[in-house]
């Protein structure tokens, strides 16, 4: 069992201010696998002070962009040989199937580091614009200051790196708060950051509970907050940031729809929904758990979906054959079971699954993959984010009705459309109100493209050039453009 008694504060391993500890428990065995030091609000003060000094007095924000890019590429090279270890670590923490962890939990963060370094290399840090009054204006993009980054437990390292990389490249210092369920991967990343030789004070990693996150959000030394998590918490953070005039990026929940058009192939749809709706044991904000099927062919699509769900391999997440592992915590298991009961109570028909443990599983926080039919979009299981392996099949009359149902949601994060006619699919995609969408594929989160949601799914964008822009401040300088060589302004 791992034991970590120190916190990573301002690039230095140091004892915590208090004696609180976090016990990390395996979702599969229900046994402790690690004990780590828990941060407190006093540790937040220390971390923000170090970050503030690095921002206001240190060299990092004033380096040439190419120097920051080189440092991030060093971190990438240090990360590269640790991917297998990282995959195993996150599988142990979260319960993600190792087949999922190898790429999405371990390799994808490395690709993010590479992608953001490439974006930064062509980013317009300075540009000369023709002025309205006849004189050119110099527009600079400078460091956005000290960042508080708060991430959940479902894809922990991907989310940390998705905030850390653009923040560092923009010249920011950053304080990261990983979820208490998954501190181990972030602490391993801290080791790599230390080895990369980043300047003192630049990065802190503080595992902790909600009180630590609240202290970070409200700290006067924090300039901007980047949060991924529930919509309920996001609303509180938005209110706090608004009150204190801090900038905030909020990537929140989802209840996305996969729209199956009447010319789609049932087997192709089932294979796509297997990924789109059930990735990471259903614990994904982009999960497409509302499956909209045409009334005239609903029995065909339901049959294909039922066969897919019934055939899923459920069990030990370290087994390469496993497709569905345990949920992250007992409370999550209980939450998902309660939604299954709600679905039956409201009149949905349970086709596959239920609240009992899957066959062959004796312990662990497992939920049987569950498929509901005859779901009305007004039902609780169609309105609220379940965050588990539960799919709801909703019939519709025609394309207009499908688009209406897809848009009839408080959320707008992801979605997809399945059809034999890609042109028709694109027409549907353009009319669904969401921040991301896939045509004949689950939405692919490409590091080059902006990611985020509308409505209750959040504010702002991550990834792509837009993700880097979220960590800079714009400065316009008049009277200086005439002395800036064009090669330096591009």
Backbone angles phi, psi at 458, to 5 degrees: 135, -175
Q: Judge contact between 128 and 138, C-beta under 8 A.
A: yes
224 — phi, psi (to 5°)?
-150, 155
β-bridge mates for residue 354, sequence order: 368
Q: CA 398, 403, 404 angle in degrees (round to 5)? A: 95
Listing DSSP states for 293-306 in one string gives EEGGGHHHHHHHHH
β-strands 368-373, 390-396 pairing: parallel
Element at 142 (helix H, strand E) = strand 137-143
Q: For residues 8 and 184, what is the distance between their CA atoms, to the nearest angstrom? A: 12
**Marked catalytic residue, from 93, 285, 462, 469:** 285
Q: Report residue 195 as tokens.
A: 């080895």
Beta-carbon count within 10 A of 335 CB: 15
- The helices-and-strands tally (H runs, E runs) of the chain is 17, 23
**Which residue, chain included where needed, has tokens 């994808």?**
108
* DSSP assignments along 219-267, one per residue: -TT--EEEEES-HHHHHHHHHHHHHHT-EEEEE----EEEEE-TT--HH
Diameter of the chain measured on Cα atoms = 76
Q: Which of 181, 251, 462, 469 is catalytic?
A: 251
* Helix pair angle (108-121, 156-170), 10° resolution: 20
Report the alpha-carbon distance of residue 116 to residue 464 in Å, rounded: 7
Round to whole Å and give the CA distance between 407 and 415: 10
Cβ-proximal residues to 469 (8 Å cutoff; 6+ apart), any chain: 141
Q: Which of 27, 24, 25, 30 is nearest to 4 (CA)?
A: 24
DSSP letter string over 17-81? SS--EEEEE-TTT-SEEEEEEPP-HHHHHHHHHHHHHHHHTSSGGGS-HHHHHHHHHHHHHHHGG
Say how far apart CA 368 and CA 34 lie, in whole Å: 27
- Whether 251 sits among the annotated catalytic residues: the reply is yes
Separation between Cα atoms, residue 421 and residue 377, nearest integer Å: 26
Q: Within a 10 A sphere around the Cβ of 410, how many other Cβ atoms?
A: 14
Q: Looking at the annotation, which residues are catalytic?
A: 251, 285
């Amino acid at each position: 069992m791992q034991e970590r008694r120190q916190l990573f504060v301002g690039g230095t391993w140091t004892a915590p201010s208090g004696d609180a500890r976090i016990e990390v428990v395996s979702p599969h065995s229900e046994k402790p696998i690690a004990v780590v030091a828990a941060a407190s609000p006093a540790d937040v003060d220390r971390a923000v002070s170090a970050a503030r000094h690095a921002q206001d007095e240190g060299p990092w924000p004033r380096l040439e962009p190419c120097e920051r890019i080189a440092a991030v590429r060093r971190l990438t090279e240090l990360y590269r040989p640790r991917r297998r270890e990282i995959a195993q670590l996150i599988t142990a923490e979260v319960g993600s199937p190792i087949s999922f962890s190898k790429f999405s939990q371990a390799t994808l963060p490395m690709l993010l580091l590479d992608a953001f370094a490439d974006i930064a290399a062509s980013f317009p840090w300075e540009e000369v614009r023709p002025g309205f009054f006849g004189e050119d204006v110099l527009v600079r993009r400078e460091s956005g200051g000290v960042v508080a980054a708060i991430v959940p437990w479902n894809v922990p390292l991907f989310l940390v790196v998705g905030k850390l990389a653009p923040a560092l490249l923009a010249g920011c210092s950053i304080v990261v708060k990983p979820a208490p369920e998954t501190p181990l991967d972030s602490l391993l990343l801290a080791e790599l950051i230390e080895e990369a030789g980043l300047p003192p004070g630049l990065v802190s990693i503080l595992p902790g509970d909600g009180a630590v996150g609240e202290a970070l959000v409200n700290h006067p030394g924090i300039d901007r907050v980047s949060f991924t998590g529930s919509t309920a918490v996001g609303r509180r953070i938005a209110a706090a940031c608004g009150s204190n005039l801090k900038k905030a990026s909020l990537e929140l929940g989802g209840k996305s729809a996969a729209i199956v058009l009447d010319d789609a192939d049932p087997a192709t749809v089932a294979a796509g929904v297997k990924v789109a709706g059930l990735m990471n044991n259903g614990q994904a904000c982009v999960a497409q758990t509302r499956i909209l099927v045409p009334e005239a062919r609903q029995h065909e699509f339901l049959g294909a979906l039922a066969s897919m769900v019934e055939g899923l391999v459920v069990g030990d997440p370290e087994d390469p054959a496993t497709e569905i592992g345990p949920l992250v915590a007992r409370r999550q298991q209980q939450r998902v079971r309660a939604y299954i009961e709600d679905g039956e109570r409201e009149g949905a028909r349970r086709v596959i699954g239920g609240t009992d443990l899957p066959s062959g599983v004796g312990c662990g926080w497992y939920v049987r993959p569950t498929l509901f039919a005859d779901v009305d979009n007004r039902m609780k299981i169609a309105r609220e984010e379940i965050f588990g392996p539960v799919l709801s099949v909703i019939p519709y009359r025609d394309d207009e009705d499908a688009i209406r149902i897809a848009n009839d949601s408080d959320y707008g994060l992801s979605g997809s459309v399945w059809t034999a006619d890609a042109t028709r699919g694109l027409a549907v995609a353009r009319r669904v109100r969401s921040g991301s969408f896939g045509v004949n594929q689950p939405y692919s989160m490409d590091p080059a493209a902006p990611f985020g949601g509308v409505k209750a799914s959040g504010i702002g964008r991550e990834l792509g050039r837009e993700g880097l822009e979220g960590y800079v401040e714009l400065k316009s300088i008049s009277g200086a453009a005439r002395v800036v060589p064009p090669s330096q302004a591009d």
